[in-house]
Structure 1
Amino acid sequence: MDRLEALVAIAHLRLRLVMIERRPQLLEGVDMQIKRPIELAGLKGRLVRARQTEAAIAVTGERYDAALDAIDEAHGAAKAHVGELEHYGAELRKTVESMTGGTNGGPNDGASSSIASGDGGQVITSEPETGA
């Protein structure tokens, strides 16, 4: 549609509007009953359901946020605990290495030690010694 056709169509619509304003009896013969589509018949129930769903989603969102906050707190505590364990492990390693001279306690040159030959030393087992 070019501009001239659009201008003519608009002029026709304006003319009809003026005619209806001046002679409203022209509309009396026209049945002006607007029918509602079947889709709109259950609209109220759908809107109520949508509001309920929205409220349920909000509650679920709040629960989700609370669960994530709890996970973040637990993760923060675990990170702090891991740091403490790493520090404790390093200190324990230093203590053990200082007791053994920085090695695992065995000779480095291939010679047998007094513990390896059975000349003393402490044997650690999982069973407690009985004083019998």
Structure 2
Amino acid sequence: MDRLEALVAIAHLRLRLVMIERNPQLLEGTTMQIKRPIELAGLKGRLVRARQTEASIAVTGEGFDAALDGIDEAHAAAGAHVGELERLGADLRQTIEGMTGASNGGPNDGASSSTASGDGGQVITSEPETGA
């Protein structure tokens, strides 16, 4: 290519550029193939993998929520059961204290006392027992 042909080619390209700048609608009907960079080549596969990971995380989150709900229910049931046990313990303590007389101001210093059933039992006194 000699200088004259190069000048004509450059002038032709400049003319096309000016025409496109003044009339951008000239480009609307054309389809251009733009080569993708290498980084975008595997983008579709990455997006599919991201969607699968997102779905997997959602399933794991649902399982986690269900497990926490079960723990919360068990904790609430245990809390209610503790209250029942405390009430039962107080009732048993009151019954036992009523049977021993400790809560009624009965003797607890070793002096003899009679039992409600009358079957006796060992009575401890402060005086030593002498054998006859």
1:74 corresponds in structure 2 to: 74
Which 4+ runs in 1 deviate beyond 3 A?
Answer: 17-20, 32-35, 106-109, 111-114
Identity %: 79
* SS of equivalent residue, structure 1 residue 120: coil
TM-score (norm 1): 0.56
- How far apart, CA to CA, are the structure 2 residues paired with 1:67 and 1:59? 12
- How far apart, CA to CA, are the structure 2 residues paired with 1:66 and 1:33? 51
RMSD over equivalenced CA pairs, Å: 3.3
The C-alpha deviation readout for 1:61-85, integer Å capped at 9, x for no partner, is 1111111111111111111111110
Q: Which amino acid aligns with 2:36?
A: R
- How far apart, CA to CA, are the structure 2 residues paired with 1:94 and 1:107? 17
Q: Figure out how many residues of one structure are paired with residues of the other and give that number.
A: 93
TM-score (norm 2): 0.56
Gaps of 5+ in 2: 1-16, 25-31, 114-119, 123-132
The C-alpha deviation readout for 1:48-106, integer Å capped at 9, x for no partner, is 00100111111111111111111111111111111110100010001111111226xx9
